[in-house]
Amino acid sequence: MSLLEVTGLHVWFDLQQGGELHAVQGVGFDLDAGERFGLVGESGCGKTTTILALMGLLPPTASVAGTVALAGENLLERGERTVSPHRWKDVAMVFQGAMNAFNPVKRVGDQIAEPMALHEVADGAEAKRRVGELLELVGITAARADRYPHEFSGGMRQRAAIAMALACEPKVLLADEPTTALDVMVQAQILELLVTLSDDFGLALVLVTHDLPVVAQVCERAAVMYAGEIVESGPTTALFHNPRHPYTRLLFAATPDLYGDEDVASIPGAPPRLDRPIGGCPFQPRCDRAFGRCEEARPVLRSVADRHAAACHLNDLPQEVPAA
Partner 1 sequence: MRGADYVLKRTVFAIITVFVALTLNFVLFRAAPGDATSSLRGCRNCTPEFRDALYAELGLDKSKLEQYWIYLQGLAQGDLGLSFVSRQPVWDELRDPILNTLPMVGLGYLFSIVFGILVGVIAAWRRGTFADWGGLLSALVFYSLPTQWLGLMLLILFSGVLPSSGISDPFIEFTDPSTWEVILDRLEHMILPSLTLGLVLYGEYALIVRSSMLETLGEDYILTARAKGLANWAIVWKHAFRNALLPIVTLVALTLGYVVAGAILVEAVFSYPGIGLVTYEAIFSRDYPVLQGAFLILTLSVVVANYIADLLYFRLDPRISA
Partner 2 sequence: MSVGPDVATGDIPAPRLRRPLDATWRIVKTQPRATAGFVIVLFFVVVALTAPWLAPYGVTEKVGPVFEPPSPEHPLGLDDAGVDMLSLMMWGARVSLVVGFAAALVAMLIGGTIGLLSGYFGGRTDTVLMRMTDYFLVIPDIPLMLVAAAIWGRSLSNIVIIIGVIYWTTTARLIRSQVISLRERVYVKRAHAVGAGHGRILFRHILPQVTPLIVANTVLTVAIAIFAETAIAFLGLGDPTLTSWGKLIENAFSHNAITVDAWWAIVPPGIAVALVILGCTMVGQAIEDTLNPRLRVGHLSVRRFRLRPLQGTDQV
Judged by CB under 8 A, which of 22, 36, 47, 89 binds partner 1?
Answer: 89
By C-beta, is 153 or 237 nearer to partner 1?
A: 153
Closest separation between CB of residue 2 and partner 1, Å?
Answer: 22
Q: Is position 185 an interface residue for partner 1 (rule: CB under 8 A)?
A: no
Distance, CA of 285 to CA of 269 (rounded, Å): 8
* Separation of alpha carbons 271 and 252, rounded Å: 17
Out of 8, 14, 43, 57, which residue is the one contacting partner 1 (CB under 8 A)? 57
Distance set, CA 100 to CA 110, 160, 164, 189, 312 (Å): 16, 12, 13, 20, 39
At closest approach, how far in Å is the CB of 116 from partner 1?
A: 10
Q: Which is nearer to partner 1, 57 or 297 (CB)?
A: 57
Which of partner 1, partner 2, none sits in contact with 114, Cβ below 5 to 8 A by type? partner 1
- How is residue 273 annotated by DSSP? P
How is residue 175 annotated by DSSP? Answer: E
CB of 93 or CB of 135, closer to partner 1:
93
With respect to partner 1, which residue has the nearer C-beta, 103 or 266? 103
Asked if 184 interacts with partner 1 (CB under 8 A), we say: no
DSSP letter for each residue of 28-95: EEEE-TT-EEEEE--TTSSHHHHHHHHTT---TTEEEEEEEEETTEETTTTTHHHHGGGBTTTEEEE-
Rounded Cα–Cα distance for residues 247 and 52 (Å):
24
Does residue 294 contact residue 284 with C-beta atoms inside 8 Å?
yes
Positive or negative: CA dihedral 278, 282, 287, 291 = negative
User: Applying CB under 8 A, does 75 fall inside the site for partner 1?
Assistant: no
Residue 101 contact among partner 1, partner 2, none, beta carbon within 5 to 8 Å by kind: partner 1
Q: Which of 10, 293 has the CB closer to partner 2?
A: 10
Binding site for partner 1 (CB under 8 A): 55, 57, 84, 87-89, 92-93, 95, 97, 99-106, 114-115, 118-119, 148, 150, 164
